[in-house]
Amino acid sequence: MAKPIMARATAVWLVDNTTLTFKQIADFVEMHELEVQGIADGDVAVGVKGFDPIANNQLEAVEITKGEADPLHKLKLKFNPSAVGEEKRRGPRYTPLSKRQDRPASILWLVKFHPELSDAQISKLIGTTKPTIQAIRERTHWNIANITPIDPVALGLCKQSELDLAVQKAAAKKAAEGTVMSDDERRKLVSTEQSLDMPAEPKIPSAIEGLEAFSLNDPKDDSEDSGDDNEYLDADSFFNLPGDDGDEQPDV
């Protein structure tokens, strides 16, 4: 079912002017039932003026009558031929003014951690321009020294599902081109859920390989040539000074 315009204001009107259940209103405006309950309690949408869906040709009055009589009845959005195709977004993503200053940080994060993404994919994800992406890729951006990479999902510029989908498309494109990828690149090209399910891959630096089984307190780790366990030296023996064990101090 398509979402009505001004969904929150429509929910406010339905809460104030009908006896529909919170579930019915939530399903119609595509909101959470608890959010609709918050509207009724006065905790959500404070100051929002109700939007009449009947007067604005979004809902038939008979639908409300049926819904009030039957709590299981689902409201049907009135068909509007002029709105067909309007749900498809055209052009770059709209970014609120309060978040536009965060776009360079998100671009730098995507360029650093997902270099396989194309400029077009990054532009679609966070609603920026290709010249800006290119400037950050080439580190010619005027403020590049002060930009810190930040996950665009954490900044609210895109959803995690959208980022995962873009990464999966990039992975499929690389696979079709036959590009050889390293293990780190393969880990980057999977979704968040798949990456979290992958087993850990502990790596031991080559300089200390074999030392993980050695123990200072275990005399069995000593060389096989030594048959006397008394020859094993512990750490305390290195700090025994003359006189600690009752030895006489040498005459000065």
Q: What is the pLDDT of residues 5-18, one digit of tens each?
A: 888 999 999 999 99
Residue 114 near residue 133 (C-beta atoms within 8 A):
no
Confidence at 216, pLDDT banded by 50, 70, 90: very low
What pLDDT was estimated at residue 161? 87
Q: What is the pLDDT of residue 147?
A: 92
Question: In this structure, is residue 156 part of a structural domain?
Answer: yes
pLDDT of residue 215: 47
Is residue 161 domain-shared with residue 98, that is, in the same domain? yes
d(CA 196, CA 49): 44
Mean pLDDT lowest among 44-53, 125-134, 209-218: 209-218
Examine the domain organization and report whether 29 and 121 are in the same domain: no
- Domain count for the chain: 2
Mean pLDDT is lowest, of 119-133, 150-164, 226-240, for 226-240
User: What values do phi and psi take at 123, rounded to 5?
Assistant: -60, -40
Domain annotation covers residue 54: yes
Domain containing 25 equals 7-83
Structure tokens at 117: 């993404």
How far CA 150 is from CA of 91, 155, 173, in Å, comes to 24, 7, 25
Residue that finishes a domain, picked among 199, 225, 247: 199
Same domain, 120 and 134: yes
Same domain membership, residue 170 and residue 107: yes
Kindly report the length of the chain. Answer: 252
Residue 97 and residue 193 in one domain: yes
N- to C-terminal Cα separation, the chain: 101
Give yes or no for a contact between 31 and 7, defined as CB atoms under 8 angstroms apart. Answer: yes
φ, ψ at 59 (rounded to 5°): -150, 140
As given in the structure block, the two tokens for residue 108 are 């730098």
Is residue 112 domain-resident? yes
Q: Residue 248 CB: number of other CB atoms within 10 A?
A: 7
The domain boundary residue, chosen from 83, 116, 142: 83
Give CA–CA dist 153/162, Å, rounded.
Answer: 9
Is residue 78's pLDDT more than 90?
A: no
Residue 188 clears pLDDT 60, i.e. is over it: no
Average pLDDT over residues 134-158: 91
3 state DSSP class of 17: helix
Residues 126 and 173 in one domain: yes
pLDDT given at position 222: 47
Classify residue 241: in a domain, yes or no: no
pTM of model > 0.85: no
Q: What is the mean pLDDT of residues 153-180?
A: 84
Q: Using alpha carbons only, how large is the chain's radius of gyration in Å? A: 33
As a whole number, mean pLDDT of residues 187-211 equals: 53
Mean pLDDT (whole number) for 140-150: 92
123 and 107 belong to one structural domain: yes
User: Do the Cβ atoms of 87 and 37 come closer than 8 Å?
Assistant: no
Examine residue 233 and state whether it is found in any structural domain, yes or no: no
One domain for residues 47 and 132:
no
| 76 falls within a domain | yes
Which of 50-59, 124-133, 176-185 comes out lowest in average pLDDT?
Answer: 176-185
% of the chain at pLDDT higher than 70: 63
Do residue 79 and residue 101 come from a single domain? no
Using the predicted structure, report yes or no on whether residue 185 has a pLDDT greater than 90. Answer: no
Can you tell me whether residue 141 is helix, strand or coil?
Answer: coil
- Please tell me the distance from the alpha carbon of residue 147 to that of residue 112, in angstroms, as a whole number: 12
Show which of 199, 215, 243 is a domain's final residue. 199
Task: Specify whether 152 is located in the same domain as 59.
Answer: no
Residue 252: predicted pLDDT: 47
- Looking at the fold, whether 71 and 119 belong to one and the same domain comes out as no
Residue 41 and residue 31 in contact, taking contact as beta carbons nearer than 8 Å = no
Backbone phi and psi for residue 250, each to the nearest 5 degrees, phi listed first: -65, 145
Least reliable range by pLDDT among 53-67, 80-94, 208-222 = 208-222
Q: Kindly state whether residue 33 falls inside one of the protein's structural domains.
A: yes
Residue 243 lies in a domain: no
Same-domain check for residues 170 and 102: yes
Q: What is the mean pLDDT of residues 61-84?
A: 83
Distance CA(157)–CA(94), nearest Å, equals: 10
